[in-house]
Structures are given as structure tokens and as C-alpha cells.
Amino acid sequence: MPELPEVEVSRMGIKPHAKGQTVTKIEVRQPKLRWLVPEELHDMEGQVIRGVKRRAKYLILETDVGYALVHLGMSGSLRVIPEGSPPAKHDHVDLHLSSGEMIRYNDPRRFGAWLWQPNDGLDHPVLGKLGPEPLTDDFTAEYLFERSRNKRTPIKQFIMDNAVVVGVGNIYANESLFMSRIHPKRQAGQLSLEDAHRFVADIKSVLATAIEQGGTTLKDFKQADGKPGYFAQELQVYGNQGKPCPACGTELESVKIGQRNTVFCPDCQI
């Protein structure tokens, strides 16, 4: 599943091709995605794309009349390709641009989405109740410490809650907890302020590194230019259960937390 770094890499990949271009046509071959693609999406036709932004794992294409919100779901991807390129089986949406290029949305599992928000404020329901972006100054150790007070939820599950902070998905939660030497099953309320300082810094570091290296390619994700991400080469614990801990050599263990596989070192993480 594309996580925040992969979505941010997609944003960076399509922005130079989309910003400032006029949408000449929107072609929807398969409207039945996670939600039905709204007819109002065609309001973009004839509009200039003023910005390409991201909120959590939603890409936002901004025009004068409204915003297109794109979610990649489990297996979605965006490509920038020449006009007239023949569609493949799972190519569901094409955004035709005045430059002669297209932004093509491919999604084999159809768990992604294309949504529309008129230009009366970017307050679409899917963006409601979201926590701060992890790479901004709004996400601090003091904030995390206060939010975690009296919480009995395992810290791994807590940090993956988008109401607490957006975009810390399973891969990056595993890696950040390992770097911070925090056991994933520790109750969030047991996090000390010192722990929170270390954990927030490690989350920011892991996510920034993943974005810098082009996102994580595990199964389905590729960048807008077709090149894969390379962060998977840097994973220290995720997917490495049964292998030696890179810090102490103890065998890495795995456990299900919130129905997600969690890998940790039983000695390093307490």
C-alpha cells in the first residue's frame, strides 16, 4: 500500500507536469472505485491547475473552481505519459493536459478514489479530523506527549491513528519504533517526554529519508516517471522477522498489533 512518502513522491513527480497546465479533458473509464467518481469532477475541464498539494495520503489538484482529491488506495499509481497512449486493463482515469501529456491513474484493486470539492473551502469530509502532518512544526514531542496521556492503546497502534498524526503507516511505524528503542506493545500513556522527543525525531527522519530516496517499493508502487523507490533497501526491521537485529544480533520477532504485522527486537525495544 502506498504510504505517505510514496504519495509525496507522486506529488513531486506530477507537479512539474501539471501545475500551470489547463485540463482539456477528463476521461473516466471506470467510475466504480472506492467511491463512485463524481460527475462534478468534469468541472475541472477548461481549468488551469494552480497547485498540486498533499494532505495525509490525498493528493490535491487545485483549480479556480474546486479541488480534485486523489487517493491511491491499496494499489493505485499515477503516471505522466504522452497524449494518445493506449490504456491498459486497469487504467481508470486520464487527466488530459494542454501540454500534450496525460496524468493516468492505474488501480488494479480499485480501492483508491477521485473526489471533488467545490471551491468554497477545502473541507471535504475525508479531510476532517486529521491530525498534524508529521514533517511540519505542528508535530512536536510536547504534542505527542499530551495526546498520549492516559492512553492504554499500544504505541504502535496509537501512532498509526490519523487523528493523532497523519501518514505514519505500518512500515514507518515499525522502523521509527525500532530506532527509538520503544517496544511496539508499550501503552501510549507510558511514553515519557524524553521518549516522545526521540520518537518524534525518528519519525521525521525515517519519513524524510524515504521521501528523499524515492519512496518504498514493496509490491505495487512506482513513481510518476515509472522509476521504483529505493527505501526498501534501508529497512532495518520491517519484513525481517527471524533475522538478526541489526543493532544487537538478537533474532527479530513479530506480533500482530491492530491486525498489522509488527517486527521488533525483544532486547533493544523496551
Q: Mind giving me the DSSP string for 227-263?
A: PPP-GGGG-SSTT-TTSBPTTT-PBPEEEEETTEEEE
Is residue 122 domain-shared with residue 151, that is, in the same domain?
Answer: no
User: Was 90 annotated as part of a binding site?
Assistant: yes
Domain limit, last residue, from 127, 154, 183: 127
Rounded alpha-carbon distances, angstroms, from residue 250 to 182, 236, 255, 269: 16, 13, 16, 11
Establish if 158 belongs to a structural domain.
yes
Is residue 115 domain-shared with residue 195, that is, in the same domain?
Answer: no
pLDDT of residue 228: 66
Give me the chain's average pLDDT, please. Answer: 93
Is residue 168 domain-shared with residue 74, that is, in the same domain?
Answer: no
Is residue 198 domain-shared with residue 94, that is, in the same domain?
Answer: no
180 three-state secondary structure: helix
> Would the pLDDT of 218 be above 60?
no
- What length is written for the chain? 270
Rounded alpha-carbon distances, angstroms, from residue 102 to 87, 92, 95, 115: 11, 13, 5, 18
Is residue 96 domain-shared with residue 48, that is, in the same domain?
Answer: yes
Establish if 221 belongs to a structural domain.
yes
pLDDT of residue 165: 98
Is residue 163 domain-shared with residue 210, that is, in the same domain?
Answer: yes
Percent of the chain residues topping a pLDDT of 70:
94
Establish if 136 belongs to a structural domain.
no
Is residue 161 domain-shared with residue 191, that is, in the same domain?
Answer: yes
Of the pLDDT bands very low, low, confident and very high (cuts 50, 70, 90), residue 219 is: low
Is residue 201 domain-shared with residue 230, that is, in the same domain?
Answer: yes
User: For the chain, how many structural domains are there in total?
Assistant: 2
Domain limit, last residue, from 59, 93, 127: 127
- Give the CATH number of the domain where residue 48 resides: 3.20.190.10
Of the pLDDT bands very low, low, confident and very high (cuts 50, 70, 90), residue 122 is: confident
Q: What is the mean pLDDT of residues 101-110?
A: 96
pLDDT of residue 2: 80
Is residue 190 domain-shared with residue 108, that is, in the same domain?
Answer: no
Domain limit, last residue, from 84, 100, 127: 127
Give the DSSP H/E element, type plus range, for residue 71: strand 66-71
Is residue 119 domain-shared with residue 148, that is, in the same domain?
Answer: no
The string of pLDDT tens digits covering residues 166-180 is 999 999 999 999 999
- Give the CATH number of the domain where residue 209 resides: 1.10.8.50
> Would the pLDDT of 188 be above 60?
yes
Q: Give me the helices (H) in 135-257, please.
A: 141-148, 155-159, 170-180, 193-212
Q: What is the mean pLDDT of residues 227-248?
A: 86
**Active site residue ranges:** 2-3, 57, 260
Is residue 109 domain-shared with residue 192, that is, in the same domain?
Answer: no
Closest residue by Cα to residue 176 from 154, 156, 206, 155 = 206
Q: Which domain holds residue 239?
A: 141-264
Give the DSSP H/E element, type plus range, for residue 6: helix 4-18
> Would the pLDDT of 21 be above 70?
yes
pLDDT of residue 220: 58
Establish if 132 belongs to a structural domain.
no
Q: What is the C-alpha to C-alpha distance for residues 40 and 118, in angstroms, rounded to an integer?
A: 9
Q: Which amino acid is at 107?
A: D
If one compares 65 and 223, the residue with the highest pLDDT of the two is 65
Identify the residue whose cell numbers are 489538484.
61
- The half-sphere exposure of 209 on its side-chain side, counting CA atoms within 13 A, is 14
> Would the pLDDT of 1 be above 80?
no
Give the DSSP H/E element, type plus range, for residue 97: strand 91-97
The string of pLDDT tens digits covering residues 129-167 is 999 999 999 999 999 999 999 999 999 999 999 999 999
Is residue 63 domain-shared with residue 32, that is, in the same domain?
Answer: yes
Q: What is the pTM of this model?
A: 0.90
pLDDT of residue 214: 81
